[in-house]
Chains A and B, each alone.
Chain A
Amino acid sequence: MNATSMQTGTRAAPPLAGKRILIAKPGLDGHDIGAKIIALALRDAGANVIYTGLRRSPAFIARIAIDEDVDAVGLSILSGSHNELVREVVGLLSGAGAAGIPVFVGGTIPADDRSALLAAGIRGVFTSEMPLADVVDAIAKVLA
């Protein structure tokens, strides 16, 4: 992971130092490069990142989030199934008394769905064209 560690080395403390973040791939979508890029970028920003790997059920993701006591969950979905899958994860988290864990979503999310997800309590919706620094800042702001 030399490519990423080279980028650190700034004087200020990394913005996500000490934060535990779960990056998860719910459903059957196999496009994992976005999730991996975000995982590497968050790690570079000081976070301790857990990546689930592909094809995880919402129940699995909610359980790991709680068991690992994470500070945030990032869901990556590019198959168009975000509305169903995101709501399921959020529902399971609050059902387990973990509604306080902020959930972020990344992927191919049309504008209408984006507003609906934000209204449903998702703390940030990111697309592939957003600069990584902006994604990291947005997460850091919520976790500050």
Chain B
Amino acid sequence: MKTSASEIPNDEVAIARPDATPSGLSVPVVARPDDVRADHDLIGEPGRFPFTRGIFPDGYRGRLWTMRQYSGFGTAEESNERYRFLLDQGQTGLSVALDLPTQCGLDPVDPMAGPEIGKVGVSLSNLAEMELLFDGIDLGRISTSFTINGTAAMIFAMYIACADKQGVPRERLTGTIQNDILKEYVARGTWIFPVRPSMRLIADSILYSNDVAPRFNPISIAGAHMRDAGCTAVEEMAYTLANGLAYVDAVVERGGDVAKFARRLSFFFYVHMDLFEEVAKFRAGRRIWARLIKDRYGVNDDKAQMFRFGVVCGGSSLTASQPYNNLIRVAIETCAAVMGGAQSIFTCAYDEAFQIPTEFSAELALRTQQIIGYESGIARSVDPLGGSYFTESLTDRTEARVLEIMAEIDAYGGSVKAIEDGWLQMRVAERALERKRETDNRERLVVGQNCFSRDDQAAQPGELFSMNADASRTVRERYDRLRETRNAGDVAASLQRLGEAAENAGQNLMPYLVDCCHAYATIGEMVACLKAQWGEFQEPAYL
């Protein structure tokens, strides 16, 4: 497909907007000492408040970041096989991708589930499926991250039940559930319940996790998807921190102690191609969050002030045109994440703009991180860009702009209201349109897509992942068998207790969900039970 962009002659392509970052922060030709605020305390030491330079005093010398590749598709057995492959290749954590029916709380037999079973992730409707998924993988030894939001509480309950089955003590569990519903309403769309009961479920899971699995991260407050949808790096940080405050407030409202639960909050961002803007974003984010925990909540505990985050490289910065170029993009983005001090990194595969990665492309994505981690040397010194006039000036200005945007959200009435009304969604949509027009007009250059493209370039990489066509049938047959063999009385009783607990706003629902999972109640059944009380989210009409 020829784009109108390919009409610019190659020798006329010039850097687009040399004087500003994509977020609109100005860029000097040369940064000089007077571009930086003279206050050295702001830069400080890594491992010390306000953590501008990083949360650990020795950076990556103690341990490199967690290399965690998002993966999962089809049936539990197929995904189990891919996980074992990745672990054998030196991956240090698992990241489970779930299919859309599981994410939306629908069982595989639901009419809306049919075409989506096993497509964007693995189907996981009940504990028996999870037991297959982690077969031969010791949950006490591996850290597992689940990208799950609308049904995060149910999947977390299932993970605990799965550990119980393996005989792994709950307190040994490590990993993360994304569990960030606010950004789902804005950008990713796997919401189920209205905003306020969803916030209750999240507060319940945070409090429960702190008690029974204190090493587990019960939330990963994510900007990545809003960024992917189109907002800028600076907006990504501002919206995410504003959502973070909404969660802290929700847990405090349910009696949580910030000094305790804030130690287990984590964040998740995109890292795009503008290297310095990304590094500045992470440095500013650490500083702002530490100050918010200290000043707004009066908490002086270092561990509670630490802004721990994972990143994903790629996504909307990757192209379907000239797909092998994506390998280079991901390498640059990984460098930005490392120099920004990320705790875990997921590198997208070059063919991700088309489909689930092949084993070959998934391996290359992991090797990219390993080459940067073990060969490039950039992980030796903490915050290696710190102290550069440009980095510090961009960090200061990112911080100032993030705080301005957060103040706008606050003035509107906070994140929850901004999202219930569709205000934030409209802001992101308008920015997405602007970004698309910038690319169309070549004010933002994408090599191989709107410049340096060729008329004869291949439409896609040679080999694509091919989905097991039987996955859907296998999953549905097993589901039907489960419903015949499980103890129906236990299922009904556990669901009834869940429903009763949900009526009492003060009750933590997590223990009830764990009981449901042990009884082999399904995701669809648990969700239907809560929907009966809470109803469903209705999208605000802002478009």
Q: Which residue in B103, B116, B354, B433 is a CB contact (below 8 Å) of A40?
A: B433
Contact A40 B429 (CB under 8 A): yes
* A31-B189, A55-B104 known; A108 vs B353 contact (CB < 8 Å): yes
Contact with B along A36-65 (1 / 0, CB 8 A): 110111000000000101110100000000
Q: Is A30 an interface residue (CB 8 A)?
A: yes
User: What residues of A have a CB within 8 angstroms of the CB of B321 in the complex?
Assistant: 129
A116-B539 Cα distance, complex, nearest whole Å: 33
Contact B1 A37 (CB under 8 A): no
Shortest CB–CB separation between residue A111 and chain B, in angstroms? 4
Q: Is A3 an interface residue (CB 8 A)?
A: yes
A130-B354 Cα distance, complex, nearest whole Å: 15
A111-B320 Cα distance, complex, nearest whole Å: 11
| Size class of the A contact interface (CB-based, 8 Å) | 35 or more
A40-B190 Cα distance, complex, nearest whole Å: 23
Contact A33 B230 (CB under 8 A): yes
Q: Is B229 an interface residue (CB 8 A)?
A: yes
User: What residues of B have a CB within 8 angstroms of the CB of A32 in the complex?
Assistant: 189
Contact B112 A29 (CB under 8 A): no
User: What residues of B have a CB within 8 angstroms of the CB of A121 in the complex?
Assistant: none
Q: Is A85 an interface residue (CB 8 A)?
A: yes
Q: Is A97 an interface residue (CB 8 A)?
A: no
Q: Which residue in A3, A4, A28, A110 is a CB contact (below 8 Å) of B100?
A: A28
* A1-B430, A129-B319 known; A27 vs B436 contact (CB < 8 Å): no
Q: Is B4 an interface residue (CB 8 A)?
A: yes
Residue in chain B with minimal CB distance to A3: B430
Count of inter-chain pairs, beta carbons less than 8 A? 110
Shortest CB–CB separation between residue A23 and chain B, in angstroms? 9
Contact B4 A80 (CB under 8 A): no
Contact A27 B100 (CB under 8 A): yes
Residue in chain A with minimal CB distance to B459: A111
User: What residues of A have a CB within 8 angstroms of the CB of B429 in the complex?
Assistant: 33, 36-37, 40
Q: Is B487 an interface residue (CB 8 A)?
A: no
Residue in chain B with minimal CB distance to A29: B100
User: What residues of A have a CB within 8 angstroms of the CB of B403 in the complex?
Assistant: none
Q: Is A132 an interface residue (CB 8 A)?
A: yes
Name the residue in A4, A28, A41, A111 with the highest tally of chain B Cβ atoms < 10 Å from its Cβ.
Answer: A28
Residue in chain A with minimal CB distance to B467: A80
Contact B432 A132 (CB under 8 A): no
Contact A80 B430 (CB under 8 A): no
Which residues of A in the span 106-130 have a Cβ within 8 Å of any Cβ on B? 108, 110-111, 127-130
User: What residues of B have a CB within 8 angstroms of the CB of A28 in the complex?
Assistant: 100-101, 103-104, 106, 112-113, 116, 190
Shortest CB–CB separation between residue B321 and chain A, in angstroms? 6
User: What residues of A have a CB within 8 angstroms of the CB of B405 in the complex?
Assistant: none
Which residues of B in the span 162-192 have a Cβ within 8 Å of any Cβ on A? 184, 187-191
Q: Is B377 an interface residue (CB 8 A)?
A: no
A81-B437 Cα distance, complex, nearest whole Å: 28
For the residues of A in contact with B, the DSSP-based class is loop
Q: Is B5 an interface residue (CB 8 A)?
A: yes
Q: Is B543 an interface residue (CB 8 A)?
A: yes
Contact B460 A134 (CB under 8 A): no
* A30-B190, A33-B187, A79-B116 known; A110 vs B104 contact (CB < 8 Å): no
A113-B113 Cα distance, complex, nearest whole Å: 21
Residue in chain A with minimal CB distance to B184: A30
* A40-B433, A110-B355 known; A131 vs B101 contact (CB < 8 Å): no
Which residues of B in the span 322-378 have a Cβ within 8 Å of any Cβ on A? 353-356
Contact A133 B440 (CB under 8 A): yes
Q: Is B89 an interface residue (CB 8 A)?
A: no
Residue in chain B with minimal CB distance to A84: B115
* A129-B320, A132-B436 known; A54 vs B119 contact (CB < 8 Å): no
User: What residues of A have a CB within 8 angstroms of the CB of B18 in the complex?
Assistant: none
Contact B115 A27 (CB under 8 A): yes
User: What residues of B have a CB within 8 angstroms of the CB of A128 in the complex?
Assistant: 320
Residue in chain B with minimal CB distance to A83: B115
Q: Is B111 an interface residue (CB 8 A)?
A: yes
Contact A131 B189 (CB under 8 A): no
A133-B228 Cα distance, complex, nearest whole Å: 22
* A3-B430, A33-B429, A84-B115 known; A54 vs B189 contact (CB < 8 Å): yes
Residue in chain B with minimal CB distance to A57: B112
Contact B1 A130 (CB under 8 A): yes
A133-B437 Cα distance, complex, nearest whole Å: 9
CB-defined A-B contacts under 8 Å, sample of 14: A3-B430, A3-B433, A28-B103, A29-B116, A33-B432, A36-B432, A55-B189, A79-B119, A80-B467, A108-B355, A129-B321, A130-B1, A132-B440, A133-B440
With A28-B113, A57-B111, A131-B3 given, can you name 18 additional A-B contacts, CB distance below 8 Å? A3-B430, A28-B100, A28-B101, A28-B116, A30-B188, A33-B187, A33-B228, A33-B229, A33-B230, A79-B120, A80-B119, A80-B467, A84-B114, A110-B464, A129-B319, A130-B1, A131-B4, A132-B437
Q: Spell out A's residues near B (CB within 8 Å).
A: 1, 3-4, 7, 27-33, 36-37, 39-41, 51, 53-55, 57, 79-81, 84-85, 108, 110-111, 127-134
Q: Spell out B's residues near A (CB within 8 Å).
A: 1, 3-5, 100-101, 103-104, 106, 111-116, 119-120, 184, 187-191, 228-230, 319-321, 353-356, 428-430, 432-434, 436-437, 440, 449, 459-460, 464, 467, 539, 543
Identify the 4 closest CB pairs spanning chains A and B, nearest first: A30-B189, A84-B115, A28-B100, A81-B115
